[in-house]
Amino acid sequence: MSFLLKNKIAAISILFIVFLLTLVFMSYTGVSFGKYSFDMQDQDMLLQSSSFEHPLGTDQLGRDLLARLIYGARLSLLVAVVTAFIALFVGILFGSVAAMFGGKVDSFVTRAIDVVYSLPDLLMLSIIGLLFSRSTTGILFAIGLISWMDVARLSRAEILKLKQNEFILSAKAIGLSDLAIFFRHILPNILSIILVAITFTMPRAIIAESTLSFLGLGLSPPNCSWGTLASDGWQFLNTNTNLILYPSIMIMLTVLSLNIIGDFLTELNQPRKTYI
């Protein structure tokens, strides 16, 4: 805690992410932040600027932009969290299989990771997104599919280093199976490093979703994310800058905060180098 208090930027970033998560949680529980829902249209209030009734203005269909920003945070943050879990599970699975078995298995898995890594991210996102008809499931699956390779490589490298330590060799000498060694000794020692890496996966996932939505391959209306809001506001860039400015600011602040938190966790993790 004292280390966090010394790093005020990291503390502010954490508070910002907690604030966003609180807003999302409250919106899921039905808490209203105003009298307008995210999809409520008002033909008499098209493209309005900021006012007391609509603090951030309205879009081309008369929908309240603040309500849509809060609703859009649902998908943008959901993408980050789900992608992190996919990258964590799939990355550790492939990385540990390669490192624990070694030999031809290691070579095959490593080459498979290289092949997936060589595929253009945007092309894969577009194809998978179209196959799933621009659904939330399709977007989550597509972004998760391109986000696990770094975790797999990091897991493999860390496991290969740990396998040379005396406590692993001792565990083998007393007859522990590879599976028992992995869950008792290896996984606990690599998990902190992997979790730090995951914090850098989350902002990339938000940017990927925003890019996909900006190109018109994101969610189908009336659902929205910050990326779809920015895409909708692009056509009014010269007349109603607020439509693209506010979602872009939210994307920037969230990505920046997650990166700062990742740097903070990296610094926090460096001094500790004990094995269990």
> Which domain, by its residues, includes 99?
2-32+60-269
pLDDT tens figures, 132-144: 766 777 788 888 8
Does 153 fall in a domain?
yes
Q: What is the CATH number of the domain that holds 257?
A: 1.10.3720.10
0.85 cut: is pTM over it? no
| 201: in domain | yes
Q: Does residue 150 lie in a domain region?
A: yes
Residue 45 is assigned to a structural domain of this protein? no
- Whether residue 276 is contained in a domain is answered as no
The reply to whether 46 falls in a domain is no
Quote the CA–CA distance of 49 and 201 in Å, as a whole number: 36
CA 183, 85, 138, 260: dihedral to nearest 10 degrees?
Answer: -150
Q: Is residue 54 part of a domain?
A: no
Residue 221 lies in a domain: yes
- For 152-206, write each residue's pLDDT tens digit: 999 999 898 888 888 888 888 888 888 888 888 888 888 888 888 888 888 888 8
**Cβ atoms of residues 198 and 84 within 8 Å:** yes
**Domain count of the chain?**
1
Q: What tokens were used for 44? A: 């008499």
Q: Which tokens sit at 167? A: 């406590």
Q: How far apart are CA 34 and CA 249, in angstroms?
A: 21
